[in-house]
Amino acid sequence: MTRREAAPSPDSSTRRSLAGLAARSALAALIAFVAFILAAVMLLLVPTSASAQLVPPEKTEPRQPTLPSLRDQEIAQCLPGEIRTWGDGRDRPIATRALRFAYRHEAAPPWFSEAQVLTLVRQSAQAWSACGLRLDVIAVPRGQVPPEDAIQVLWSDAGSRGQFALANVTARSLSISPGLFALLRERNPKYPADRTLQMVLSHEMGHFLGLMAHSRRCVDTMSYYDNGKGERCALRDPKSWGSVIEYRSMLPTACDIDRCKALNAPR
């Protein structure tokens, strides 16, 4: 029986070469596998004409409607017993069912354009017309005299007498203070002063509709916040106080309109 010769054992350099070849083969296989996985993922993510039919559309949850705040509810509705005043004046119906306001832009602060203020005056008039009266607004060109039957809306520190705005029903003038609006801009330049202007226009316009007493509801445009004797206006929820910088509405509320309707109802 012939004895087989034993195969010669590889030397150390040969073993290292074989090990390196195996490692490179394994690495190449791993890279090929990763590339395959990435290609499959990209096929799912990119909506081609073929793959788009296989990927279900994302489901989006429907947006929940934003619920009105308590202040918004107070503006929109007038509950029984909420029409109350401070008793600081006597309401009286107006003699006519149509009023005309004539806006003069002279002496207005330069950051308020004529078109901007005229729009605010018209918005206040349109909102008050819901009480059944006709309110028109015209612009008076610079240097011209407003019609005799019109209520002048003008900028005048003398006429506003230390208030942001003041209604002089007898003189048929609604004066806005340029000085106080300049002070407001100086102290709080980021605050939108047109909101304050809208509110004071609506408030003073209400006096020309016969609403002489001020409302005790904080949110009413015809309100003021306290009577100077420690009593404060009414809120449906006292915790709402301070929730916004100006709680009073810029335009007449439901209670303002109801009060105007009851006062000026046809007789």
| Tens-place pLDDT, residues 187-212 | 999 999 999 999 999 999 999 999 99
> Residue range 163-175: average pLDDT?
97
> Residue range 166-185: average pLDDT?
98
Per-residue confidence (pLDDT) for residue 210, from 0 to 100: 98
> Would you tell me how many other CB atoms lie within 10 Å of the CB of residue 132?
13
- Three-point CA angle 167, 169, 175, nearest 5°: 30
Q: How confident is the model at residue 164 (pLDDT cuts 50, 70, 90)?
A: very high
| Structure tokens given for 31 | 């890279």
Q: How confident is the model at residue 267 (pLDDT cuts 50, 70, 90)?
A: confident
Percent of the chain with pLDDT over 70: 75
- Residue 85 corresponds to which amino acid? T
Q: How confident is the model at residue 63 (pLDDT cuts 50, 70, 90)?
A: low
Per-residue confidence (pLDDT) for residue 68, from 0 to 100: 80
Q: How confident is the model at residue 3 (pLDDT cuts 50, 70, 90)?
A: very low
| Structure tokens given for 186 | 């100086």
**Residue 176 is inside which H or E element, if any?**
strand 173-176
